[in-house]
Structure 1
């Protein structure tokens, strides 16, 4: 089997990266082939340049689920990629609530860009809002499923049969973005909510470096020069716990998720 293995992912807190890399590494082992290209488009500079693939490539593409969909801030970049007949594995990662229409949306985007999507999976990672919801996932159990998934992809490719389009869960037209509700049951908009900075901050600049929107001011990390997508990178990667949210609706939704979504969701695979 003569295919070049590539990864392509957005992963602000490294959970999507872990799953995508796990699939690629196991597939590389099975195919006895090196991973040709790792494209991490989490930071804005990388998204300034598009990429193109060929029929010789297989690309494991991963994105997180935001409000039940592919993050809209990634659509411009994803729609600039050229598949040119490359094979693709579509991967979404969500925080134990639901992936809603994110997987079917990612599959559609990839097919529209000229990829042949041969398999897909929805995996679970620690929620971007929380340090306890789906804590430490993807964990060992998840990663065992990742390896099994890669084995099934390899077996499918090894058969040499015609690769027919796969079906995945989701609705078309896609549902609206999921919206949290206040205590009166009225939907609230938390898109403009941004984290604050407390006195623990020692100006190490890590938050500014990891912000996938490039929104945290490098000279004054308490300031935002752009949007906040609630990815959790600045909070989870701060060594001093200096970043936090104090918005009432955001915190209510965070606690609601933590209280109600304790049931362990499991990965769903589509081969």
Structure 2
């Protein structure tokens, strides 16, 4: 069987990329005896302007991070424009050790509506975008072994089943609303408009502007935003001088709650 292996991912801090690439790489090694992968990294905005379509000869591993328990709404337009044409798809979501809620079933539904045949799915854990301690350094070695085994099972399914069966994944229909943190009075708070600040450590290297997946950080003045902030963590975690930070109290309270309340190690969940 000669299938073309593809990976697609949005990965501002490289955790989703690590999982998706590993799964695609292992499938390719099994399928072709070598690493031959077509890779589409749609993290940056210019890539999301290019149309993408596949054929029945394609196997596509599609990965997104989980934002508030769902597929990030800023990606829906792009994801809904991908054309499957009968390609086999493996949706993968990566979350920060709280919960992936309805993100996986939502991504699966999007792919199926776009003409893909979804044959497997997985929810993996990555270091939380808000934190450097919550799920620190994940996906780790143990996660990557599971990702490799997952890829082996996908290869087995593709090559041994005459009629590849669809899968059922965890999730609700209708999908739950996007998760919202609460303040000290138990009332929901909206942190969507919270933006990062810039301190005196900034050396104006422009890295934050280059890695912002929304293209929102002004390259002429990196302390300014010309668009939305999705709290992906890229500008903070990738800054070489720790020049970016958040000071919004609702954001910081939610970050603290996650760090003390979600320490129990969650493991990847696979559906195949």
| TM-score range relative to shorter protein | over 0.9
Query: In the alignment, which residue of structure 2 is the partner of 1:263?
Result: 264
Unmatched tracts of structure 1, length 5 or more: none
Alignment RMSD, CA only?
A: 0.7
Q: Which secondary structure does the structure 2 equivalent of 1:13 belong to?
A: coil
- Distance between the aligned counterparts of 2:42 and 2:73, measured in 1? 14
Query: In the alignment, which residue of structure 2 is the partner of 1:161?
Result: 162
Q: Which aligned pairs between 1:97-246 and structure 2 lie closer than 5 A? A: 97-246=98-247
Q: Is the 8 A contact 2:191 2:251 kept in 1?
A: yes
Query: In the alignment, which residue of structure 1 is the partner of 2:29?
Result: 29
- Cα deviation for residue 129 of structure 1 reads 0.2
Query: In the alignment, which residue of structure 1 is the partner of 2:47?
Result: 46
Query: In the alignment, which residue of structure 1 is the partner of 2:78?
Result: 77
Query: In the alignment, which residue of structure 1 is the partner of 2:11?
Result: 11
- CA shift digits 1:133-162 (9 cap, x unpaired): 000000000000000000100111111321
- Cα deviation for residue 170 of structure 1 reads 0.1
- Cα deviation for residue 190 of structure 1 reads 0.2
- Cα deviation for residue 29 of structure 1 reads 1.0
- Cα deviation for residue 28 of structure 1 reads 1.0
Query: In the alignment, which residue of structure 1 is the partner of 2:94?
Result: 93
Q: Is the 8 A contact 1:5 1:37 kept in 2?
A: yes
Runs of 4+ in structure 1 off by over 6 angstroms are: none
Q: Is the 8 A contact 1:24 1:35 kept in 2?
A: no
Greater shift, 158-167 or 219-228, is seen at 158-167
Q: Is the 8 A contact 2:127 2:136 kept in 1?
A: yes
- Distance between the aligned counterparts of 2:199 and 2:129, measured in 1? 20
- Cα deviation for residue 231 of structure 1 reads 0.2
